[in-house]
C-alpha cells in the first residue's frame, strides 16, 4: 500500500531544528535532506508537503516546493539535481520584455536577472525568444547545464525576508542548451506560475503542521491545516494548470489560508521565540506575486462570465 502523506504529516518525527536565522545555509545539503524522506512519495505535491514539514523556516520550505514544482513541470529531474527557472530580465518577466534569444541549434544569448537558487543550480530552465510572429515574440524553453561554457552566475544580495533563498543573475554567452518541445510561454512559463503557487503552498502548509505539532497546537488547528492542504492537493491533480477553473479555485484556497492564519495567530504564543521571529520575518514571501495572482483571477472570472448561468 502506498504511503499516505496525511499519515506522514501527523505521525512522522520532525527533523532537527537546525539554524533558523542564517542566510548562509548549505542549500544543496538542505535540499538533499528534503529529498530523503520526500523520495518515499510519488506525487510532487506530496513531496513538497514533506519538504515543508522538514523545514524550520518558510524560505527552506519554499525551496523544497520550488524544486517539486519544476519536477511537476518538466519531468524527470533527479533528486540530486537543482533546477532554476530563468525568465525574469531587466525589463521584467513578460514575454515582451525578454531579449534573451535562442536559435534553432539551442544556442542561448542574453542575461536573466533573477534566478532562484542561482549559484547552487545544476541546470537552468531558460525561457528565450526564438523568433517573432505577428509582432509577438515566440518563446522556447531550453535546458542549460550550469557548468556549460559561457554561463556566468553572479549571486545577488539576500532579500530581507527568507534570506536563505539564494538568487542570482545569469549571463549566457553563446551557450549550447537542449531545446524542449512546445511553446516556451504556454507550455512552461505560464503554467509554472500556477504550479509553483500550489507546490509552495503545500510546502508552507507542511511547515505549519510541523510547527503545530512541535508546539502541541489543538487537534482542530492541524485538521484545518490538513484540510487546506487537501484542497491544494486536489487542484494539483488537474491536468490543465492554465484553465480558468483552477485559477478561480486557487483564489479561494488563498482566501481560506489567509483566514486560517488569522485564526491561528493566538496559538503562536506557544511556539518557541526563534521560530516565531523567523515566521514573522518571512511572511512577506506569501504576498510575492500577489498582484499577478489577482490579475490572473480577474482574467479567469472574465473568461467564464459569459458562460455561467444566472
**Domains in the chain, CATH or no CATH each:** 5-74+188-304 (no CATH), 83-179 (2.40.110.10)
Contact in structure between 109 and 100 (CB atoms under 8 Å): yes
* Cα gap 221→263, rounded to integer Å: 9
pLDDT tens by residue, 142-179: 999 999 999 999 999 999 999 989 999 999 999 999 99
Strand pairing category for 107-116 and 167-176: antiparallel
What percent of the chain has pLDDT above 70? 94
**Average pLDDT, stretch 92-101?**
94
Other CB atoms within 10 Å distance of the CB of residue 211: 25
Contact in structure between 129 and 139 (CB atoms under 8 Å): yes
Cα–Cα nearest to 53, from 237, 171, 226, 191: 226
pLDDT tens by residue, 217-238: 999 999 999 999 999 999 998 6
Contact in structure between 130 and 103 (CB atoms under 8 Å): yes
Cα–Cα nearest to 257, from 283, 224, 219, 217: 224
- Cβ within 8 Å of residue 305, ≥6 positions away: none
Residue 21: what pLDDT?
44
pLDDT tens by residue, 105-134: 999 999 999 999 989 999 999 999 999 988
Strand pairing category for 136-145 and 123-133: antiparallel
Q: Which three cell numbers stand for residue 21?
A: 536565522
Measured CA distances, 242 to 62, 92, 161, 194 (Å): 22, 21, 29, 7
* Cα gap 16→192, rounded to integer Å: 31
pTM as predicted? 0.93
**Average pLDDT, stretch 245-266?**
96
Amino acid at each position: 500500500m502506498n504511503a499516505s502523506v496525511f499519515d506522514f504529516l501527523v505521525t512522522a518525527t520532525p527533523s532537527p531544528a537546525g539554524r533558523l536565522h542564517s542566510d548562509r545555509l548549505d542549500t544543496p545539503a538542505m535540499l538533499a535532506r528534503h529529498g530523503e524522506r520526500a523520495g518515499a512519495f510519488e506525487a510532487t505535491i506530496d513531496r513538497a508537503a514533506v519538504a515543508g514539514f522538514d523545514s524550520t523556516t518558510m524560505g527552506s520550505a519554499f525551496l523544497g516546493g520550488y524544486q517539486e514544482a519544476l519536477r511537476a513541470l518538466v519531468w524527470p529531474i533527479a533528486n540530486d539535481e537543482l533546477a532554476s527557472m530563468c525568465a525574469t530580465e531587466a525589463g521584467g518577466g513578460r514575454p515582451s520584455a525578454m531579449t534573451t534569444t535562442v536559435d534553432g541549434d539551442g544556442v542561448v544569448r542574453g542575461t536573466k536577472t533573477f534566478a532562484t537558487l542561482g549559484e547552487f543550480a545544476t541546470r537552468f530552465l531558460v525561457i528565450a525568444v526564438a523568433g517573432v510572429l505577428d509582432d509577438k515574440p515566440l518563446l522556447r524553453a531550453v535546458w542549460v547545464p550550469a557548468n556549460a561554457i559561457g554561463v556566468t552566475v553572479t549571486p545577488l544580495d539576500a532579500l530581507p525576508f527568507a534570506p536563505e533563498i539564494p538568487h542570482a543573475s545569469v549571463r549566457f554567452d553563446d551557450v549550447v542548451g537542449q531545446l524542449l518541445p512546445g511553446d516556451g510561454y504556454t507550455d512552461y512559463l505560464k503554467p509554472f506560475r500556477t504550479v509553483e503557487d500550489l507546490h509552495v503552498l503545500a510546502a508552507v502548509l507542511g511547515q505549519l503542521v510541523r510547527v503545530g505539532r512541535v508546539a502541541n497546537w489543538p487537534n482542530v488547528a492541524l485538521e484545518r491545516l490538513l484540510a487546506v492542504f487537501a484542497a491544494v492537493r486536489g487542484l494539483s491533480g488537474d491536468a490543465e494548470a492554465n484553465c480558468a477553473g483552477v485559477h478561480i479555485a486557487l483564489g479561494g484556497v488563498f482566501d481560506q489560508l489567509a483566514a486560517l492564519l488569522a485564526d491561528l495567530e493566538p496559538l503562536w504564543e506557544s511556539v518557541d521565540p526563534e521560530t516565531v521571529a523567523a515566521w514573522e520575518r518571512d511572511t512577506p514571501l506569501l504576498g510575492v506575486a500577489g498582484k499577478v495572482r489577482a490579475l490572473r483571477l480577474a482574467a479567469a472570472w472574465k473568461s467564464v462570465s459569459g458562460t455561467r448561468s444566472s
